[in-house]
């Protein structure tokens, strides 16, 4: 079932809200009429620029994916949240043949996949209490295709995409829309670290595409030029396998 959802007059929470894509998501939600956004940050001071700009429509909230107790405490604090965006993520440039491959893989799996699982476990009951709402996960085109030299990151994003599919099925029972966002190269610190500066596109494309997907009730979101190229070929598989209930066909 497709659920249309308007960010206007909603209360949202965004992890990794102090810079990059997360910060632009916070700004976009507020500009589109969200009542309030909890800015999930590892250090509360990092939310100051957003609070200076938007006043009490932004509340800083401590969320460090490496410290699971901060996630459970945040779910206690943000009891009124209706839209959760798990945006925080980490990237190491490692291939399977690099000496540090397993260290990178373990770290990325812990943050990018473990972080997602912990966020979903903590916030699913809150979303249910508040009428269902939406849970949005920042995945990647690297969830679908492995990119050298950030192969271990790609593997973690593939795993996160798989978990996101499970959440879509599980949370539909409580009326929560789940959205899987798959950006290509985006102009942020991570984009620079991955060597994508030359081909990166603005983070606003990602934030705007999330607002549109909420309105349209879409599961998959492909915001930018490279992502849309992949979507053009992947769409058939996405609709007929990933989004379909093939156990019943």
Ligand X SMILES: NC(=O)c1ccc[n+]([C@@H]2O[C@H](COP(=O)([O-])OP(=O)(O)OC[C@H]3O[C@@H](n4cnc5c(N)ncnc54)[C@H](OP(=O)(O)O)[C@@H]3O)[C@@H](O)[C@H]2O)c1
Instruction: Decide if residue 196 touches ligand X (CB under 6 A).
Output: yes
What order do you get walking across the sheet with 36-41 strand by strand?
58-62, 36-41, 11-15, 83-86, 134-138, 177-181, 220-221
Among 32, 35, 42, 77, binds ligand X (CB under 6 A): 42
Instruction: Give the integer Cα–Cα distance in Å for 210 and 218.
Output: 9
Q: Which of 7, 47, 61, 65 binds ligand X (CB under 6 A)?
A: 65
Which of 141/171 has CB closer to ligand X?
141
**Applying CB under 6 A, does 188 fall inside the site for ligand X?**
yes
- Total residues in contact with ligand X, by rule CB under 6 A: 27
Residues 207-246 that bind ligand X (CB under 6 A): none
Q: What is the DSSP string of 114-152?
A: IHHHHHHHHHHHHHHHTTS-EEEEE--GGGTS--TTSHH
| Pick from 17, 123, 104, 127: nearest CA to 64 | 17
| Piece of the chain touching ligand X by CB under 6 A; list 20-28, 29-37, 99-107, 121-129 | 20-28
Considering the complex, state which of residue 18 and residue 164 has its C-beta at the smaller distance from ligand X: 18
Closer of 175 and 202 to ligand X (Cβ): 202
Token pair for residue 52?
A: 């200076």
Q: How far is the CB of 222 from ligand X (least distance, A)?
A: 11
Residue from 13, 58, 190, 211 binding ligand X (CB under 6 A)? 190
- Considering only 27, 64, 82, 108, the residue that binds ligand X (CB under 6 A) is 64
Site for ligand X contains 21 (CB under 6 A) = yes
182 - beta bridge partners?
A: none
Rule CB under 6 A: is residue 186 a binding residue for ligand X? yes
Interaction of residue 18 with ligand X, rule CB under 6 A: yes
- Give the nearest distance from C-beta 140 to ligand X in angstroms: 4
| Beta carbon of residue 186, minimum distance to ligand X (angstroms, whole number) | 4
* Per-residue interface string for the shown chain with ligand X, residues 78-97, x marking contact by CB under 6 A: ---------xxxx-------
Residues that bind ligand X (CB under 6 A): 15-16, 18-22, 42, 63-66, 87-90, 111, 138, 140, 183, 185-186, 188-191, 196
């Amino acid at each position: 079932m497709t659920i249309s959802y308007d960010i206007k007059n909603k209360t949202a929470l965004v992890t990794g809200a102090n810079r990059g894509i997360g910060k632009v998501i916070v700004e976009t939600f507020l500009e589109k009429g969200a009542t309030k956004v909890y800015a999930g940050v590892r250090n509360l001071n990092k939310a100051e620029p957003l609070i200076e700009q938007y006043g009490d429509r932004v509340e800083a909230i401590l969320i460090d994916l490496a410290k699971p107790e901060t996630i459970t405490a945040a779910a206690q604090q943000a009891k009124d949240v209706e839209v959760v965006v798990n945006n925080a993520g980490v990237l190491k440039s490692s291939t399977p043949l690099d000496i540090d491959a397993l260290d990178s893989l373990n770290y990325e799996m812990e943050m990018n996949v473990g972080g997602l699982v912990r966020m979903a476990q903590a916030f699913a009951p809150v979303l249910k209490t508040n009428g269902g709402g939406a849970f949005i996960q920042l995945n990647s085109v690297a969830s679908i295709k492995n990119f050298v030299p950030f192969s271990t990151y790609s593997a973690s994003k593939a795993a996160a995409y798989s978990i996101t599919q499970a959440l879509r099925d599980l949370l539909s029972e409580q009326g929560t829309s789940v959205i899987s966002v798959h950006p290509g190269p985006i102009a942020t610190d991570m984009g620079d670290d991955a060597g994508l500066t030359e081909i990166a596109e603005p983070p606003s494309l990602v934030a705007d595409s999330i607002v549109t997907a909420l309105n349209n009730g879409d599961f998959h979101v492909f915001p930018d030029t490279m992502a849309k190229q992949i979507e053009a070929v992947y769409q058939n598989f996405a609709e007929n396998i990933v989004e379909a209930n093939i156990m019943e066909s």
